[in-house]
Amino acid sequence: MNFIRTAIPDVYIIEPIVHGDGRGYFMESFLLSEFEREISKISFVQENESCSKYGVLRGLHYQAEPFAQSKLIRVVTGRIMDIAVDIRKGSPTFGRYMAVELSGENKRQLFIPKGFAHGFSVLEDNTIVQYKTDNIYSPSHERAILWNDPSLAIKWGIPAKDVILSDKDKKHPLLKDAYLFEYKDDRQ
């Protein structure tokens, strides 16, 4: 696997090595020893899957402490624009976002650590997204930021007129009013 550092430290793009032939392909989508050597110790405890049509936008979601979650996202089929927003007060990249297209074809994955909001827009019908988390879902700790917060100016890869939101995702606060994490530089 190739572990690619992004412009926002601690967020990684992971490219698996795909072995293909006339029968199809094989790849390792996750190997704990490599992940921990390249990124950090992790213990995934939950895996989720969604299927969405073109235009669906999910986000920008995260959970408050003590149920904050790191996520490892991948697309089984279809395409998404995946977004990670740094919401760690005091971070050198606070309020910045990182975007990457994940697809069943490119097989890339995105690792997003605790302290980030996550969302994605669906670029193709029948897109299946799977993601692992290192903490369980807790409804009472669920938090989010409005998808089109002007201070973030996220480029979602689809026209705003095509965006399909849940009722809940239409009502989230702006970043300036949201629950934020404290930045801890573990590299010191």
| Residues taking part in catalysis | 61, 131
Q: Where are the strands (E) in the chain, listed by range?
A: 2-5, 12-15, 18-21, 24-27, 46-52, 57-63, 71-77, 79-86, 88-89, 97-103, 109-112, 116-122, 127-133, 142-144, 181-182
Sequence-distant (≥ 6) Cβ neighbours of residue 168 within 8 angstroms? 144
Cα dihedral 116, 121, 123, 126, rounded to 10, equals 100
